[in-house]
Structure 1
Amino acid sequence: MDNALMIGLTRQMTLRRSMDIVANNIANANTTGFKVETLLLENSPARTAEHSDGPSELQYVETWGMGRDFSQGTLELTNRPFDFAIEGDGFFGLETDAGTEYTRDGRFHVDNIGQLVSADGSPVLDADTRAPIILDPNAQNVRIIDGGAVIEDGAQVGRIGVFDIVDRGALSKEGNGRYTLELGPEEAEPLAMFDAVVRQGYVEGSNVSSIVELTDMMQIMRAYASVSKFLKDAEELNRSAIERLGKA
């Protein structure tokens, strides 16, 4: 295939992927704890098609990975006693069948056996024991104090696990605002943050800026149209060249 067509097609593929990501960001603008995502690209050198002159190497564009902005989202007041938001760094730890998962979505509730659980029923881990937090369903007053300590009728019954993940690039998205952590053979589990600021009666909103995402969407559409025109012009040039050669 012609070099120009190959370059144009690889760029169109990455632009389509970028559009999917921007559309997903916009769709999650109101999703609790969602973090905005960006497609990361890299140049990929490759040999050109056979020719007698011109460059010997071309630069194609390929997907390198996914970038996530973990900056703080807006804290939204709900006044529900088991809604929690982290102010600053850290992630809530959840116990799942696949192992520990991490999230910024603090919409919790107490299940029928007294465990503090996430929206889908995954137990919230205790910072001290890394075991589920058990509450008394008949307790009259449950509140959170400094460092996430859970105070039930005046007595501490647990501490909401907020964990410090230094290498956020090692987080793998699992969906529903959840992440798993890929640890090396000599790496330890993330440490609990006993100085974490946990706000009761709040949830953290998405950090998506709809205006920015809509602007990015328009830029992607213009870039795609420009590449499409480039490919059309290149195809027309090739056709004209072939016609002239046929008449020679």
Structure 2
Amino acid sequence: MDGIYPSITRQAGLMREMATIAQNIANASTTGYRAEGLIFEEYIAAAESDAPSLSLGHAHGRTIDLTQGGLELTGGTYDMAVEGPGFFTVGGADGPLLTRAGSFVADPFGTLTTHDGLPVLDGGGAPIQIPPGDGDISVAPDGTLSRDGAPFAQMGLVVPDDAVGLQRVSDTRFAHEGALLPVENGRILHGFLEGSNTAPVLEIARMVEVQNAYGLGQNILQKEDERLRAMLRIMDPR
């Protein structure tokens, strides 16, 4: 059975990688989406008695691609894009969430929120309140929001102390249990949105590679099944 177990673990990992690729392709046009990758690693399983150990494939680690996505000019009053490193922070049920999706709105109470109602946080972690009035809203590169030239808040732009600790909680939001550090060299562009950093052509090419690898694994499992059946017929000809 030593030929079957490694193949099964490899097939399971390839299925997870296919799901990851499909997610990336599905979000190729999602504002602020960060592409995801899967990490394969070796897992050594101890065998019984004095038999040699068994090397298995293990694919549960994930990586988040933090490269810059394309910038699109929208002219929206509350549309913002991060140029360079950093994330906006929004209030979640269990703490602040990080996002690069900067399409925000002002709710009826004057709070700057995401389209599904999560408050956008300032540098101190408090919800940003838009002052009443009809003047124009402007956003400086450092995230300072002003109405008719009068500053009233500053966007919270942060980076995680360890990007490996990012946990995706939705298509464009991440939780992080470690420290969040203020960004020193990031810029906020007002009236822009950042697109997905998924490269659809590369993802489709990778999908074909994974499909071929999965088919090869299926062929190996079939050959092993035929070998075991033949062995059993020889051992028990009845």
Per the normalisation by structure 2, the TM-score is 0.93
The answer on 1:144 being equivalent to 2:118 is: no
Q: In the alignment, what sits opposite 2:26?
A: 27
Query: Which residue identity does 2:157 align to in structure 1?
Result: V
Q: 1:63: how far off?
A: 2.1
- Mapping 1:1-248, distance limit 5 Å: 2-48=1-47, 56-127=52-123, 129-183=124-178, 189-193=179-183, 195-247=185-237
Return closer, same or farther for 1:130/1:243 CA change in 2, 3 Å cut-off: closer
Per the normalisation by structure 1, the TM-score is 0.90
Q: In the alignment, what sits opposite 1:186?
A: none
Q: How many residues align?
A: 238
- Indicate if the aligned counterparts of 2:13 and 2:58 stay in contact, CA closer than 8 A: yes
Measure, in 1, the Cα distance between the counterparts of 2:132 and 2:29.
31
Measure, in 1, the Cα distance between the counterparts of 2:180 and 2:81.
19
**Which one is further off, 228-237 or 39-48?**
39-48
Measure, in 2, the Cα distance between the counterparts of 1:195 and 1:39.
29
Q: 1:21: how far off?
A: 0.7
SS of corresponding position for 1:3: coil
Query: Which residue identity does 1:209 align to in structure 2?
Result: A
Could you give the per-residue CA deviations for residues 149-169 of structure 1, whole angstroms, max 9, x where no partner exists? 111111111111111223111
SS of corresponding position for 1:79: coil
Query: Which residue identity does 1:27 align to in structure 2?
Result: A
Measure, in 1, the Cα distance between the counterparts of 2:43 and 2:184.
45
SS of corresponding position for 2:56: strand
Measure, in 1, the Cα distance between the counterparts of 2:224 and 2:215.
14
5+ residue gaps, structure 2, are none
Query: Which residue identity does 1:20 align to in structure 2?
Result: A
Query: Which residue identity does 2:145 align to in structure 1?
Result: V
Q: 1:14: how far off?
A: 0.7
**Which one is further off, 207-216 or 189-198?**
189-198
5+ residue gaps, structure 1, are 184-188
